[in-house]
Amino acid sequence: MQKLFLKTALLPEGWARDVLVTIDAAGRIAGVAAGAVPPGDALRLDGHAVPGMPNLHGHAHQRAIAGFGERAGAEGTDSFWSWRAAMYRALDRMTPEDFEAVAAWGQVEMLKAGFTALGEFHYLHHDLDGSPYADPAEMSLRAVAAARETGIALTMLPVLYAASGFGGLPPTEGQRRFILDADRFLALVARLDAEAAADPHLVVGIAPHSLRAVPPALLAEVLAARPAGPVHIHIAEQPREVADCLAATGARPVDWLYDHARVDGRWCLVHATHVTVDERRRIAQSGAVAGLCPVTEANLGDGIFPAEAFMAEGGCFGIGTDSHVSIGVAEELRLLEYGQRLVSGRRTVLSGGAGRSTGETLYLTAAGGGARALGIEAGRIAPGARADIVVLDAADASMIGRRPDSVLDGWIFAGNRPLVTDVFAGGRHVVAGGRHLHEDAIARRFRAALERLHA
Ligand code: NGQ
Ligand code: ZN
């Protein structure tokens, strides 16, 4: 049994002092005792300990173009869709080695930011020219290998991508590396299931990319073939997508999905930005997780999710870093809250009620929702959960004069400082003193890959 002695820790019942956490050989929390006396063989951590945050949505390859899409094109032409065309072009050169290097570095940044689990929404399946690799799981297994090296818990979400638009429009040249049919997709899922059977840190779900990319019959077929486990889908991110869906089907995307699939707590609806009041309520009542990615949604000009009403309706949400344009737990949660303030003209919008800490409510809600979306027991420091624990520097300027119950407000709203000193992911001490265990080697490979890709 590994033992951690935490000076202050956020437990499900609130903040506690002198907390002894025991961790079993599988990386799960076996016991939690507050007000304990430190045993001699415990590792002592003097910062503020909080549950690790799940990152419920990311595309590893996009870390290679973070911040490269900010030079203006012809006046008025830059949009989500022009960014996507540029992102596709970056895939013209990305080899499996490049992909693994980029994925590993992104995961290091996540862990250092306090993310301890990741939903990898993976659609880069084929070789540069669009032909399948000898091993159809070549690219997926690169993401898995990166996670084994970095220690982040991985929920692999192999993506089904078949069309370029509603009505089953044929895929474009830029999408040649993504395309699978049902049989090839299900074979890939089976291959990953076999990997996961022997790996307690790997979960496998499925990800029909979007209603744009997966025609109705194909969606029904893969859902029937996969009755359990996480299902993630991009939905209603852009107004044009809503308009195209309406034109093709007579329904908006969220309505269409709820009318044609049994959407429940295993689903994660990524973005769900453009929803009517009815659609919003359908999501909240179904128990599906809204996968909010505020930084990417801001970067791409997507819009603002109606989080205040959704939360009041009991809706469940988590956060994702999606395009990885800037990877930060505090940053995602801050922007989520600030978006709501900017549209409502009020403060502490997502606090959950009088007297409550906005930062703590945001944090714990997103941690619980993220864990549900990724199909893992996590998001709380409690027996049975994964030992995903993040320690914040209690000596930092932004922490001065705070009682523990305002620590998360300090992290999220004050100073924008990198406060994470230590991270345990599945019991593995992967970040210590603010540095990842394998940071230097992974950084070297990332640098070489990026220099080649942008040469
Ligand atoms: C993706 N990203 O799959 O990486 C998408 C772009 C698309 C976001 N939607 C491609 N943010 O949606 O067609
Ligand atoms: Zn996405």
Sign of the four-CA dihedral 229, 151, 62, 330: positive
Ligand having the closest approach to the CA of 62: 1
Separation of CA 221 and ligand 1 centre (Å):
23
Locate all alpha helices (DSSP H) within 56-151, ordered by sequence: 80-90, 96-113, 138-150
Q: Provide the annotated active-site residues.
A: 271, 322
Segment 280-298 mean pLDDT:
98
Ligand 1 binding pocket includes 125 (Cβ within 6 Å): no
What pLDDT was estimated at residue 75?
86
Residue nearest to atom 5 of ligand 1 (CA): 84
Which ligand 1 atom minimizes the distance to the CA of 62?
4
* Number of other CB atoms surrounding residue 217 within 10 Å: 9
* Number of other CB atoms surrounding residue 285 within 10 Å: 13
Separation of CA 443 and ligand 2 centre (Å):
24
Ligand 1 binding pocket includes 409 (Cβ within 6 Å): no
Residue 184 phi, psi (nearest 5): -65, -40
Burial-class residue 353 by CB neighbours within 10 Å (0-12, 13-18, 19+). exposed
Residue nearest to atom 4 of ligand 1 (CA): 59
* Helix (H/G/I), strand (E/B), else coil: 274: coil
What pLDDT was estimated at residue 287?
98
Residue nearest to atom 3 of ligand 1 (CA): 209
Q: Check if the beta carbon of residue 169 is closer than 8 Å to that of residue 118.
A: no
Q: How is residue 92 written in tokens?
A: 């013209």
Which of 56, 59, 122 has the most ligand 1 atoms within 8 A of CB, as the residue to mutate?
59
Separation of CA 18 and ligand 2 centre (Å):
40
* Helix (H/G/I), strand (E/B), else coil: 231: strand
pTM for the model stands at 0.98
Segment 421-446 mean pLDDT:
98
Write the pLDDT tens digit of every residue in 89-122. 999 999 999 999 999 999 999 999 999 999 999 9
Amino acid making up residue 217: A
Does pLDDT of 415 surpass 90?
no
Q: How is residue 101 written in tokens?
A: 């290097």
Q: Check if the beta carbon of residue 422 is closer than 8 Å to that of residue 102.
A: no
Separation of CA 194 and ligand 2 centre (Å):
25
Query: Residues 135, 140, 145, 147: what is their CA dihedral angle, to the nearest 10 degrees?
Result: -170
What pLDDT was estimated at residue 76?
86
What pLDDT was estimated at residue 395?
96
Locate all alpha helices (DSSP H) within 198-328, ordered by sequence: 216-225, 239-249, 253-260, 277-286, 294-299, 307-312
Which of 62, 79, 84, 244 has the most ligand 1 atoms within 8 A of CB, as the residue to mutate?
84
What pLDDT was estimated at residue 163?
98
Ligand 1 binding pocket includes 322 (Cβ within 6 Å): yes
What pLDDT was estimated at residue 153?
98
Question: In whole angstroms, what is the distance from residue 69 CA to residue 118 CA?
Answer: 24
Write the pLDDT tens digit of every residue in 52-76. 999 999 999 999 999 999 999 988 8
Of 81-90, 148-157, 319-328, the range with the lowest mean pLDDT is 81-90
pLDDT band with cut points at 50, 70 and 90 for residue 305:
very high
Residue nearest to atom 6 of ligand 1 (CA): 84
Write the pLDDT tens digit of every residue in 119-176. 999 999 999 999 999 999 999 999 999 999 999 999 999 999 999 999 999 999 999 9
What strands lie across the sheet with 231-235, from one edge to the other? 231-235, 267-271, 289-292, 316-319
Q: How is residue 387 written in tokens?
A: 């030992």
What pLDDT was estimated at residue 419?
98
Ligand 1 binding pocket includes 324 (Cβ within 6 Å): no
Residue nearest to atom 13 of ligand 1 (CA): 84
Sign of the four-CA dihedral 347, 353, 356, 358: negative
Question: In whole angstroms, what is the distance from residue 311 CA to residue 314 CA?
Answer: 5
pLDDT band with cut points at 50, 70 and 90 for residue 194:
very high
* Helix (H/G/I), strand (E/B), else coil: 56: strand
Separation of CA 293 and ligand 2 centre (Å):
8
The proportion of the chain whose per-residue pLDDT surpasses 70, expressed as a percent, equals 100
Residue nearest to atom 1 of ligand 1 (CA): 59
Separation of CA 354 and ligand 1 centre (Å):
38
Ligand 1 binding pocket includes 59 (Cβ within 6 Å): yes
Q: How is residue 421 written in tokens?
A: 């000193």
Task: Give Cβ neighbours of residue 125 (< 8 Å, ≥ 6 apart).
Answer: 132, 133, 136, 139, 140, 158, 159, 177, 178, 179, 180, 188
Question: In whole angstroms, what is the distance from residue 162 CA to residue 181 CA?
Answer: 7
Ligand 1 binding pocket includes 244 (Cβ within 6 Å): no
Write the pLDDT tens digit of every residue in 342-399. 999 999 999 999 999 999 999 999 999 999 999 999 999 999 999 999 999 999 999 9
What pLDDT was estimated at residue 238?
97
What is the per-residue DSSP string for 317-378?
EEE--BT-SS--HHHHHHHHHHHHHHHHS-SSTTS-STT--HHHHHHHHHHHHHHHHHT-S-
Q: Check if the beta carbon of residue 185 is closer than 8 Å to that of residue 151.
A: no
